[in-house]
Amino acid sequence: MARVGNTFGAVTGSVRRLLSAMADNASELPDVTAERSALEKELAAAEEAKQRQDAHTGEKQLATQEMSSALVRAKDAAAQLRNAAKFKLGAKSEKLVSFQVAPLRKRGPRKAAQLKKLEASLQKQQADLQKRQEAVKAQEAEVLKKQAELLAKQAELAQAS
């Protein structure tokens, strides 16, 4: 015999087929009428509960749609209220911050300040590079001096031999 799934449709379909088979063979199984009526009662209760569940699903979907449209309307009303506050208080008023609106503020010389910072950074880097180059030249001079000393010692040893 095939297994019955646990979904509502699978269980109710299986129960209906069982009740149909019981009705077809009622003369052969007269002693199970109490069990059959209990099963019919439980099937009816399950179907009624499913109908209520489906009705609540529809109500839930409707409530969700209403909530979404109400939120859209609330956002629009909030935007209108913020614009009204901006109009009444003025676009530059700092009180607009309490209404979650950014007031118009003066813009400072941003590009000039950034340019000065970049120039200062570049000058510092150039100074560091120059110091490194001088250190490398000093090291190279030291190495050349030592090489000259070694060559002189080799020449003395070659003459002594």
Q: Domain end: 74, 99, 124, which one?
A: 99
The reply to whether 22 and 89 lie within a common domain is yes
Provide the whole-model pTM. 0.43
Closest to 96 measured CA to CA, from 106, 86, 87 = 86
In a domain, 144, yes or no: yes
The number of folded domains in the chain is: 2
Chain centroid, CA 42 distance in Å: 46
Query: Tens digit of pLDDT for each residue in 106-125?
Result: 877 678 788 888 999 999 99
Domain of residue 75 covers: 8-99
Least confident of 3-7, 12-16, 34-38, 118-122: 3-7
In a domain, 2, yes or no: no
Residue-level pLDDT at 125? 95
The reply to whether 21 and 74 lie within a common domain is yes
Burial code (b: 16+ CB inside 10 Å, e: under 16) for 102-141 equals eeeeeeeeeeeeeeeeeeeeeeeeeeeeeeeeeeeeeeee
Residue-level pLDDT at 129? 94
